[in-house]
Structure 1
């Protein structure tokens, strides 16, 4: 009897091992797959309204959102449908929050703050490298501290001779365009050209010289030749959104795809690696030269940003643990090119766009030109302090950075379970309202800067209009009393001011470029009377590049007609 009972409970070791392996495989593969499938339906953010998932991996938005630079367009269209706070299924079926409420954004960027979105940070690091744009926490603060002396008001004013020299070259280049193209209707309708390319050249020459003592000479170049650093950096930027399958996989899966691409010698990856190697090599040479100048005490001839940072880095009051390594200094070069070149040329291109919009565009040009010709502006070409103090020009630049902000959206990652306060209640799916949103550790929060910068709740009924007059002092003749801004705008300025390490340089650079354009040329729409208007769209490649609608593959474009003004 006992033996029979024992036989019934006898365990087959082989079967037990197989069952254990099966359960192990189930936990390794099946459970993550199940979690991947169901997590949008179980996440706390599901109580918010928002677009449904359209694709098993891309989520609520299509592939073009992430690969073809259409994030801004899809983001803004979704805000129109669901309001400034909504949930969505992000890349990899990850539940995400889109929040454009100024109180929540203030908490995300200033009070907590949330870390940068890991995937977006990875894209920046792969294409630009590490540095101020991608580092966070103590490393970012240490780098920012060393960079600060190079961006003080006095340091920016010391760069004025470079701004003046390069903008004079821009004027000469544009006059040469007019002569070379020899358009018979130029006297009346102006000469048509893609001014974005010329603005790209002047911004590149300025940041090369003022940023790290490197002469690109892009404005003097009449052929297709360019410097090694310029070609390499342009290649790095272009490959952020090429629209290829490999680019889509690289955005989606990051470093594993990069590793596979290198092993399989994928052409696009090989080109990116080659371009990055060139940028790193030239950057290393520039750092070695700046260090040599600092060691030799050559402070009079080396006033570029990189040289100022090198000298600040070896100052006696800087602790050894707070100093930047040669590699960190080297990584600043592509950062300068993004912050001092890409953002400036892009913002100035969009400023030109506002100045060719019908009668209002002509009025903007007239007001700027009148100010530059006034007694208050006497000597502005030779005195940066005079130019910087011109109120309408300053208001025009501020309005450009509000209305046409170069960086239009960003992603942040919740560092822990948190509650985000809202300035206004939102309606949930069940019809109830709430004035706070609960997020979990690791949740991605997408912020639309351009929406916050133009929403009527903060900026009044004309928030979506380009009006420099909103920034003028009350005693200015063009001040408009009706342009009322919500007091929360001051809070919003604080939210974004900490992002502008290079703000002073870019603003002064824009003032010189715009003043040179306005004082020498009339800017006119690219289409002649009777022709269809050229439609301009923005494509996100870190910054919002202007391109012609339906022709984004042709690259940077801001077509205008320019007409030389008589002296």
Structure 2
């Protein structure tokens, strides 16, 4: 028996090695992007993957290459494969908007997304995505979202009172420990009528997993993990899905979140189902939970969601409306702390127009500089040609304004680089300058749902909803930011903020340079306004 097992292991190892070797040779000589310029391969097996994955600051390496090769270039990745790196506005528009479903998420992105969000709209593609989108539409109407504004404001007032009660005023506060508490409470109550009690210190499994999901003392995967993921995504789908049963440490954390969120969601969903049974008034409700209840009981297969899909939607909304908003708010406070003039201007706007409608330039500039998910991964579903706003020079010296790609081509869309592209935003694209959004300047290529930014692509497939989902995030950000600035002044801690890094850890999170063991850090000095 033991001998049979050993033989099976050796056979698997031999087949895997042969497959990798054959794939490396095949991909190296059949590369469809070899006509493009790009950085030299830094590793025979890894290509440029190791340095890209292990960079200490978000987009530092890609920015250098985009500056050298233009708004699109070729990068080498594992096993001799090429990846198309893109920050060109017209190319981004084509891949994300114009082409519809012709550029689905890459295989490995789909695998990880399913581990984290299950069969939700964030994972779904094609007809499945279209069916889920139609089911969720009513929950995200502008009228429905406006009902949450008072909740956002009350929750922010509770956070301000907490800081005062715990005597944190006139001291340095790690706001990154507090902001996820308020956003978790808000998303629980607004979407599902569920009270996490995070701001009150109530311990819960989901909240604890959130704390460690994107921040770990060993953020970067080892070489063998990088190679394993690349090998897994190159396999036929059934084999790749089988290997997903053996997750990496990071993927295990994602699955723990999925399991915990579905556990919470199941309890909330079944309680709501029992309470709604036979109640006529619930049939017209358009909150997220009511919409999911109706879609689960719908007889029309074009509208129905099964229970696992429903629970997956709830998990996706919990994360998309919680951790991303908290991180974005932390980065907005970071920039306003460094710019007292702009902080005072926002406060003056709040004081003069307490019920301000719209979004201030400062908030918009913060969203531009700090997109929480800086990269998206796609692949071509068929042979295609991607147009460019800004022509690039090929290896042969030819100038081209479109890039032909083959079916299966891996594409990395760099939101972080696009949001700081000098060709779009000017020579000061890397600097904090809210006044750029006070000028009525139209960009050549329209991108995103708000302010020509791609920042809200962090919700990924939710962007296809034909309703303003992003407004929920904007309203929440605005309410929290305005509520805090109305009560407090923020200034740098002793020693300043120069040691804060934008660390790529799934989401872009703030950490102290050479002190990552402390976890997520955004230490700001807070003082009560008089």
Q: Shorter-chain TM-score category?
A: 0.7 to 0.9
Q: Give the match's secondary structure for 1:486.
A: coil
Q: CA deviation at 1:301?
A: 13
Return the TM-score normalized by structure 2.
0.84
Which residue of the partner structure matches residue 347 of structure 2?
369
* 1:343–1:491 distance in 2 versus 1, CA, 3 Å: closer
Partner deviation per Cα, 1:182-234 (whole Å, 9 max, x = no partner): xxxx4xxxx1121111111111111111122221211111xxx6212222444
Contact 2:91/2:387 (8 A) holds in 1: yes
**Residue segments in structure 1 that go unaligned for 5+ positions in a row:** 1-25, 381-385, 473-479
Q: Contact 1:236/1:276 (CA < 8 Å) preserved in 2? A: no
Task: Give, in whole Å, the separation in 2 of the partners of 1:396 and 1:403.
Answer: 11
Corresponding residue number in structure 1 for 2:186:
206
Answer yes or no: is 1:215 the counterpart of 2:215.
no
What CA distance in whole angstroms lies between the structure 1 residues aligned with 2:498 and 2:15?
Answer: 56
Where does residue 487 of structure 2 map in the other structure?
520
2:419 aligned partner: 453
Distance 2:23 2:56 in 1: 29
Matching residue of 1:59: 47
Q: Does 1:546 align with 2:510?
A: yes
Return the structure number with greater relative CO, CA threshold 8 A, min gap 6.
Answer: 2
Q: Aligned residue for 1:98?
A: 85
RMSD between superposed Cα atoms in Å: 3.3
Against the structure 1 CA distance between its residues 456 and 503, is the aligned structure 2 distance closer, same or farther, given a 3 Å change threshold? same
The alignment status of 1:292 with 2:292, answered yes or no, reads: no
Range that drifts further, 322-331 or 399-408: 399-408
Q: Deviations over 1:53-84 (max 9, x none)?
A: 22233211316x43788663332232233322
Take 1:485 and 1:464, find their aligned partners in 2: how far apart are those partners? 19
Offset at residue 537 of structure 1 (A) = 1.8
Preserved contact between residue 176 and residue 520 of structure 2 (Cα < 8 Å): yes
User: Per the alignment, do residues 173 and 134 of structure 1 end up closer, same or farther by CA in structure 2, a change over 3 Å counting?
Assistant: same
Match of 1:109 among 82, 87, 96: 96
Aligned pair partner of 1:353 in 334, 344, 347: 334
* Structure 1 segment 88-167 matched on structure 2, within 5 A: 88-113=75-100, 114-167=103-156
Q: Equivalents in 2 of 1:28, 1:269: separation in Å?
A: 22
**SS of 1:354 mapped into structure 2:** helix
Structure 1 SS opposite 2:33: helix
Distance 1:125 1:556 in 2: 25
- Checking the alignment, whether the CA contact within 8 Å between 2:117 and 2:313 is kept in structure 1 is no
Aligned-partner SS, 2:389: strand
Q: CA deviation at 1:145?
A: 1.6
Classify 1:436/1:72 alpha carbon distance in 2 versus 1 (closer, same or farther; 3 Å). Answer: same
Deviations 1:119-166 (A, max 9, x none): 122122223333121111111121122222111111111112321221
Aligned equivalents of 2:185, 2:56: Cα separation in 1 = 26
Q: Deviation of residue 549 (structure 1)? A: 2.2
Contact persistence 1:207–1:340 (CA under 8 A): yes
Assess if the C-alpha contact under 8 Å between 1:232 and 1:276 holds in 2. no
Structure 1 pair 539/123, CA: closer, same or farther in 2 (3 Å)?
farther
Q: Distance in 2 between matches of 1:69 and 1:121?
A: 25
1:506-565 Cα distance to aligned partner (Å, 9 max, x none): 1100111011111100010123xxx36432222233321222223334322111111111
In the TM superposition, 1:323-402 aligns within 5 A as 323-357=304-338, 361-374=339-352, 377=353, 380=354, 386-387=355-356, 389-390=357-358, 393-402=359-368
What is the alpha-carbon distance in structure 2 between the residues aligned to residue 73 and residue 210 of structure 1? Answer: 37
Q: How many residues align?
A: 497
**Match of 1:405?**
371
